[in-house]
Amino acid sequence: MVRQDIKYRDDFRGAQFHPHVFLMWLGLVSIAMLFAGLISAYIVRQSAGNWLEFPLPGIFIYSTLTIVVSSATLAWAYRSYLRGWQRSYRQGLFLTFLLGVAFLVMQYLGWTALYQRGIGISGNPAGSFLYVLTGLHALHLIGGLFALAVIVYQAWWGHVQMSQRQVIRLKIISYYWHFLMILWIILYGFLYFTR
């Protein structure tokens, strides 16, 4: 049995709806539109012909697994926080951060593998599009890592309390992170089936 060892602050009201969380949802909508626009551009360009077909780097399968697991660990950390389990909260956050970095490294390895096969960014648009879609996703993930780093730092070296502010913060970062996971699966599936 894990002991509940995080203290409650007065304003703690559990996982309640907050305007800032809604702001994040809307932000996700606009990111989704960015990728929707690029994916449409991909489809339009591909149908015009002169399109290079190449297999995706094998390591993308492992990076996909990594990001799915990182999403799960973040969900685990969030649940632990709401229940007041400090240890698993800390571990979950830290694991998520590590897995996020691992994902980025794998993406980088994937790009170098592609590049060595002769598929550079400035060659056939098929390659350029792949780099743009995966690269923009990675950029968004780096932004998420910065936010995670702040929370990890607080959880390990700061004073952990149950506060409404922290719940909202965790919610916001969780939605963002899960969104990036789903976005990656969609991108990977799209690139895999629409080559």
Partner 1 sequence: MAKVQAIDYDVDKYLEEQGYDDHFHEHEHGDKYKVSFISKYIFSTDHKIIAKQYLITGMVWAFIGAFFSLIFRLQLGYPDMDLSWLRPILGGWININSEGVGSLSPDFYYAMVTIHGTVLVFFVLTAGLSGTFSNFLIPLQIGARDMASPFLNMLSYWFFFLASVVMLLSLFLESGPFAGGWVAYPPLSALPQAMMGSGMGMNLWLISLVFFVVSVLLGGLNYITTVINLRTKGMSFWRLPLTVWSFFITAIIGLLSFPVLVGGFILLLLDRLLGTSFYLSDIFIAGEALHHVGGSPILYQHLFWFLGHPEVYIIILPAMGIVSEVMSTHARRPIFGYKAMVYSIIAIGFLSFLVWAHHMFVSGMDPFLANFFILFTLIIAVPSAVKVFNWITTLYKGNIHLTVPMLFAIGFVSFFISGGLTGLYLGNAPIDIQMHDTYFVVAHFHIVMGVAAFFGMFAGVYHWFPKMFGRYMNQTLGKIHFWLTIVAAYMVFWPMHYLGVAGVPRRYYTFDSFVNFSQFDTLNQIITIFALVGFTAQLLFAFNFFYSIFYGKKVSDRNPYRANTLEWSAPTNPGHGNWPGKLPVVHRWPYDFHKNGSDYRPQYVPLDPDERDVH
Residue whose CB is less far from partner 1, 88 or 128 = 128
Beta partners for 7? 161
Among 8, 22, 108, 192, binds partner 1 (CB under 8 A): 22
**CA atoms of 91 and 80, how far apart (whole Å):** 10
Rounded Cα distance between 153 and 94, Å, is 9
CA distance 14 to 16: 6
By CB under 8 A, which span of 23-31, 97-105, 111-119, 163-171 interacts with partner 1? 23-31
Element (H, E) at 176: helix 164-193
C-alpha 99/C-alpha 104 separation (Å) is: 9
**Does residue 115 interact with partner 1 by CB under 8 A?**
no
- Pick one of 88, 91, 128, 163: the residue that binds partner 1 (CB under 8 A): 128
**Burial zone of 22 (CB within 10 Å; 0-12 exposed, 13-18 middle, 19+ buried):** exposed
At 61, list the tokens: 């399968």
Exactly one of 23, 65, 142, 150 binds partner 1 (CB under 8 A); that residue is 23
Secondary structure element (H or E) that encloses residue 161, with its range = strand 161-162
From candidates 15, 38, 102, 182, binder to partner 1 by CB under 8 A: 38
Give the pair of three-digit tokens for residue 103: 């994902």
Tell me if 118 contacts partner 1 by CB under 8 A.
Answer: no
The yes or no reply on residue 2 touching partner 1 (CB under 8 A) is: no
1 binds partner 1 (CB under 8 A): no
Q: Answer yes or no whether residue 65 interacts with partner 1 by CB under 8 A.
A: no
Which of 15, 27, 72, 109: binder of partner 1 (CB under 8 A)? 27
- The contact set with partner 1 (CB under 8 A) reads 19-20, 22-23, 26-27, 29-31, 33-38, 40-41, 44-45, 48, 50, 121-122, 124-125, 128, 132, 136
